[in-house]
Amino acid sequence: MKYLSSNEVRQIWLKFFESKKHLIIDSAPLVPVNDPTLLWINAGVAPLKKYFDGSKLPPAKRMTNVQKCIRTNDIENVGLTARHQTFFEMLGNFSIGDYFKKEAISWGYELLTSKEYFGFDLKDLYFTYYPTDLEAKKVWLSLGVPEEKLIPAEDAFWEIGEGPCGPCTEVHFDRGESIDPRSPKELLGDDLENDRFLEIWNIVFSQYNSKPGLKRSEYPELPNKNIDTGAGLERITSIFQQTETNFETDLFMPIINHVEKISNVKYEGQKEFKIIADHIRTIVMALSDGATISNEGRGYVLRRLLRRALKHARALLLTKPFLHLLVDDVAKIMEVQYPEVNNHLDIIKRIILNEEEKFLDTLSEGEKQVMQIISSGVKTIDGKLAFKLYDTYGFPIELTEEYASEHNLSVDLEGFNKELEIQRERSRDARSNEGSMHAQDEKFLKFNEKSLFIGYETLESKSKVIKVFDEGIVFDKTPFYAESGGQVSDIGTVDGFEVLNVIKLPNGQHLHQVDAKFVKGQEVLLKVDKEARNQTIKNHSATHLFHKSLKVVLGDHVHQHGSRVSPESLRFDFNNFDFPSEKDILKIEKLVNKEIKKALPVQVKLMKLDDAKKLGAEALFSEKYGDEVRVIDMDYSIELCGGTHVNNTSEIGHFAITLVESIGSGIYRVEAITGDNINFKMRSYLSSLIGEINNLDEKLERISSSKLKFNKPTEPTILGSYEDILNYRQYLEKYKLALRDYEKELNDLKERDTLSNLQDVQSLITTKRAVLKLEDYDPNLLRSILDSIFNTKQLEVLFIANIKDEKITFMAKSSINNANNLVRYAAQNTGGNGGGKPDFARGGGTNINKLDEVLKEVERLMNE
C-alpha cells in the first residue's frame, strides 16, 4: 500500500469530490455560530444542519469539506484505545436533494479503490448495509463487490429522535484474522467491539421522516432525499502510514517526539504520550477558534483537558509547565489545512502557560490529599471530601474519579453535586423578589390571558388590571418594558404609585411590582419615567455599536458573554485571548463615537430568523428566537434584539468607557456611559483617583518648605473619554513619584542642616564614652547624627536619648561591643523595649520622668 501524508489524504478527498461537481466549503469554527444547541461542532454535518432541514438555501446542492470536530463524551478512553480522540477531522461529501444512493456508493467505491485516488485493495474492505436496504446492496454488487463482503447489520440505520433519518452503509478496513479470528459476519453484523475492523466511512441515506409510534417500515419518505457522509481522517491516515494506532501518524508524532525530548522518556505506546498529544491538539485548535478557558461550558472542557494532560504528564516526571511548548508543533501540523491556527499563537501560549502555572501550584497538594483519602481504607470517596478537593485545591472531580478508579474505589457524585449546587446558590447574585419567583411557577405557567406590550410606541397608557398575583400586577396593555436581553425594566408609576420592577412571565405577559394594592378590572394610568427610558435607549443602542466595534478591533472570535443596560450605564462582558490593550480600548471607543457622529438611522425590522441571518444579523448563543425576529439595523451594526433603542445614533450624544477589567479566565468586562454632558458624568468615575490626588495635595501642604520649591505635575483636562481614566492614573503616578522625590530632597536638606549645626552638641562631649540627651530632633535623623558625632569625635561609645512628642528614642554605637546592653537597659527601665547588635542598637521608651535617672546608670554601665 502506498504511503500518504495526512494532508495528501485531505487533498485527494477534496479534489475527487470537486471533480464530481461538489463545492469545497471551509471548515466551520469549532465554536458553533448561532447554534446554542451545540457545545462544539462535533460532526461534519453539524454546521450544515440549516441546509438539510430546508431552513436555508445551500450555496450548492453538492458540497464537500474537511471539518474540525470535538467530542469529549469518551474522554476516559483517550490513550487506552487505538482510535479515541477528543479532536478529530471528518471528511465529508453531501447532497442536498440532488444525487442519492447510486452515485454516493459508486463514487465511494471509485475513491476508495481507484489507483488514481486511495487505491485500497478490495480484499481489505468490507461493507455493511441495513438488512431491508436491498437497493444499497444491489449497487455495491453491481460495482463488483463480492456478496461475502457485504454484511447486513441491524444498527446500520441513522436516527436521532423525530425527523429525517435513513439507512446507512459503512466501509470497514480489515486488519487481518491474526488480530481477531472471528468471522466478519459475527464482528460486523452483530457490531461487536474489536480491533480487527476499522470503520473508515459511513454513508447515510436520509430518505425517511421518523414519526413517534411508527415502525421503521412505516416511516413516510422525505420529498427531498439527502446524502450525509463522514470519514475519519485520522483512521484513514493510520492505514496509509501503516501505524498500530492513530497516534503514530504524522498528525500526532511531531508532538509526541517533542514530549520525548522534554521528558527524556522514549515513546513506546504509553497512554500518557497519547493523552498529552490529543489534549493539546484540542486545546490549541479550540483556542484558535475563539474558545476560552473558564469554569463553565466549553471553557471548562478545555480546563479539564489541560489539567488531565498535566496529571498524566507526572508519570513521565514532567512536573513543570510544558504544554505551552507544544503549541508550535500543533500549529505546524495543522497550518496547511487551517492557516488561521497561526493567528494568535503567542496569546494561546500565554493562556496555556498561565493555566499550567495556576494548576500545578495546587495539583501536588490536591494529589497528596486524595491519596490520603484513598489510603484511609474507604471504599467510596465521600462527596463532601471530593468537593473540598475541587473547591480548596482546584482538583477537578474527573481527576478524583480517575484516581479512585485506579484504586478500585468509587466517588459519591451525588454528594459532590449537592455541595456544588450549594456553593453555586451562595455565589449567585442576590436578586430581588421577582428573581426568586422563578418564572416556572405553576400559577405563572397556567396564566395564558393576553397582555400587549405597547412600549415601543408610547410611554403612557390607560390600562385595565387583568390579574393580581401576590408578586405583582398584570395589565391588558402596558408601556413598561420588562427586564430581558440584558436591559433592565422601565420604572415609572401606576396611578401615581411607584413601579419597582417589571419581569416577563413564561407566556409573555409583563408582571409589574407596584407599591400599592389593585383589584382585577380596575382601570389605571400607567406612566413610564421618560428620562430614565431615554437614557436607557441611548445606552442600549451604544451597546450594539460597542459590540460591533469590539469585533472590528479585536476580531470575529469575540462573542458577548453577558450585558446589562440601565439608565445610568452599560456593561458588556466578552471573551478574548488576552486583556485588551489600552490602545485597542481607545480605538474601540473612537469607533463608537464615529458611528454616533455619522447620525445613522436606526431601523427596526420584523422578519423571519433565516432572513435576519442572511442579512448578517448578530445573534446571541444565550437567546432563543422564534420564527419571526426583531432586527435593529444601524447599518454599521445589525443585531437581533427585543430592547428599546434610539431612532438615530446621533441621539446617543457621546460614548465613554469607564472601566475595563477581567472577570474570569478569558472573559473581560467593559462599563461605559453615554449622553451629552459626558465630561460632568466622567468626573464621578474619576472620583477615587481625584480623592487620592487630594490626599497628595494635603500631604504636600503638610510637608512643603519655603526652602525647597515643589514642581507639581500639570493636572489633565477632562475629555469625556476612557483616556481620562488613563491620564488621571498616569498623573497620579507622576504626582506620587514627584512628591516622593520632593520628600527625600526635603529630608536630605533637613539632614544637612542638622548635621551642620551639631557644634554645640559636640562641645558637650569631653570623653571617649558619652551620653547625649536631645530634644525635638527628627527621629529619622538620629542615625546620621549618631554616626557623624561618633566619627568626628572618634569615640568608643556614644549613647543618644531623644525626646519628641512625649516619646523617647534611644540609639547607641560602640566599638567595644556593649551597645545592645545599654539600649536594652534604658528601654526596659522607661517602659519600652529595644535591642540590636553589640556595635549598634536602637529602642524606645515612654517614661520621661525616669529618663535622667536611667541615663546616669547608662553612663556608669558604659564606663565599667
Q: What is the pLDDT of residue 429?
A: 36
Q: What is the pLDDT of residue 751?
A: 76
Query: 172 φ, ψ to 5°?
Result: -120, 140
Q: What is the pLDDT of residue 81?
A: 86
And the C-alpha cell for 580? 485588551
* Range 316-324 average pLDDT: 94
| Alpha carbon distance, N-terminus to C-terminus of the chain | 103
Identify whether the C-beta of residue 45 lies closer than 8 Å to the C-beta of residue 633.
no
Does the pLDDT of residue 493 top 50, yes or no? yes
Question: For residue 243, which of 450, 520, 1, 545 has the smallest C-alpha distance?
Answer: 1
* Range 579-602 average pLDDT: 97
Does the pLDDT of residue 432 top 50, yes or no? no
Neighbours of 162 (CB within 10 A): 10
| HSE of 445, CA atoms in CB hemisphere, 13 A | 4
pLDDT digits over 300-318, tens only?
Answer: 899 989 999 998 998 899 9
Q: Which residue has the higher pLDDT, 684 or 817?
A: 684
Q: How far, in Å, are 88, 292, 560, 716 from residue 557 at the CA level?
A: 21, 10, 10, 36
Helix and strand totals (H; E) in the chain: 26, 31
Q: What is the pLDDT of residue 35?
A: 67
Q: Which residue has the higher pLDDT, 385 or 523?
A: 523
Looking at beta carbons, which pairs linking 440-445 to residues 24 or more positions away fall under 8 Å? 440/506, 443/469, 444/469, 444/505, 444/506, 444/507, 444/511, 445/506, 445/507
* Superfamily of domain 6-243 in the CATH hierarchy: Bira Bifunctional Protein; Domain 2 (3.30.930.10)
d(CA 132, CA 153): 10
Does the pLDDT of residue 320 top 60, yes or no? yes
Q: Which of 283-297, 331-345, 490-504 has the lowest mean pLDDT?
A: 283-297
User: Domain ranges in the chain?
Assistant: 6-243, 252-359, 376-425, 434-528, 534-668, 685-749, 757-862
d(CA 445, CA 247): 53
pLDDT digits over 248-297, tens only?
Answer: 999 999 999 999 999 999 999 999 999 999 999 999 999 998 888 887 78
User: pLDDT category, 427, cuts 50, 70, 90?
Assistant: very low
CA 273 to chain centre: 27
And the C-alpha cell for 740? 516622593
Query: 74 φ, ψ to 5°?
Result: -115, 40
What would the CATH number be for the domain defined by 757-862? 3.10.310.40
| Domain 534-668 in the same topology as domain 6-243 | no
Q: What is the pLDDT of residue 33?
A: 67
Q: What is the pLDDT of residue 439?
A: 30
pLDDT digits over 29-76, tens only?
Answer: 898 865 667 889 999 888 888 788 765 678 889 999 999 999 988 888
Q: What is the largest CA-CA distance in the chain?
A: 125
Q: What is the pLDDT of residue 8?
A: 97
Q: What is the pLDDT of residue 256?
A: 97
Identify whether the C-beta of residue 844 lies closer than 8 Å to the C-beta of residue 809.
yes
Question: For residue 674, which of 543, 576, 848 has the smallest C-alpha distance?
Answer: 543
Q: Which residue has the higher pLDDT, 224 or 701?
A: 701
Average model confidence (pLDDT) for the chain?
89
Q: What is the pLDDT of residue 622?
A: 40
Amino acid identity for residue 808 in this structure: I
Quote the crossing angle between the two packed helices 687-703 and 678-685, to the nearest 10°.
60
* Range 355-365 average pLDDT: 81
Q: What is the pLDDT of residue 305?
A: 94
- pTM score, two decimals? 0.58
Q: How far, in Å, are 118, 443, 473, 512, 664 from residue 476 at the CA level?
A: 69, 18, 10, 12, 43
DSSP class of residue 487 equals: B
CB burial of 291-330 (b: ≥16 within 10 Å; e: otherwise) equals bbbbeeebbebbbbbbbbbbbbbeebebeebbbbbbbbbb
Ranked by mean pLDDT, the top range of 30-34, 444-448, 858-862 is: 858-862
pLDDT digits over 182-192, tens only?
Answer: 999 999 999 89
d(CA 303, CA 291): 11
Question: For residue 796, which of 778, 781, 818, 780 has the smallest C-alpha distance?
Answer: 818
CB burial of 596-605 (b: ≥16 within 10 Å; e: otherwise) equals beeebebeee
Identify whether the C-beta of residue 720 lies closer than 8 Å to the C-beta of residue 654.
yes
d(CA 127, CA 153): 10
Starting at the edge strand that comes first in sequence, how are the strands of the sheet with 769-775 ordered?
769-775, 797-804, 807-814, 840-845, 833-836
pLDDT digits over 532-568, tens only?
Answer: 999 999 999 999 999 999 999 998 878 888 899 999 9
Q: What is the pLDDT of residue 141?
A: 97
| From the candidate CATH numbers 3.30.980.10, 1.10.10.10, 3.40.1350.10, 3.90.1150.10, the one assigned to the domain spanning 534-668 | 3.30.980.10
And the C-alpha cell for 808? 523617647
d(CA 205, CA 216): 14
- Say whether domain 434-528 belongs to CATH 2.40.30.130: yes
And the C-alpha cell for 622? 444565550
Q: Which residue has the higher pLDDT, 814 or 764?
A: 814
Identify whether the C-beta of residue 333 lies closer than 8 Å to the C-beta of residue 87.
no
Identify whether the C-beta of residue 794 lies closer than 8 Å to the C-beta of residue 815.
no
Q: What percentage of the chain exceeds 90 in pLDDT?
A: 62
pLDDT digits over 126-183, tens only?
Answer: 999 999 999 999 999 999 999 999 999 999 999 877 778 899 999 999 999 999 999 9
Residues with Cβ within 8 Å of residue 475, at least 6 apart in sequence: 451, 463, 464, 465, 466, 510, 512, 524, 526
Q: How far, in Å, are 82, 229, 269 from residue 11 at the CA level?
A: 24, 17, 29
Amino acid identity for residue 213 in this structure: G
Q: What is the pLDDT of residue 46?
A: 87
Identify whether the C-beta of residue 512 lies closer than 8 Å to the C-beta of residue 479.
no
d(CA 444, CA 450): 13
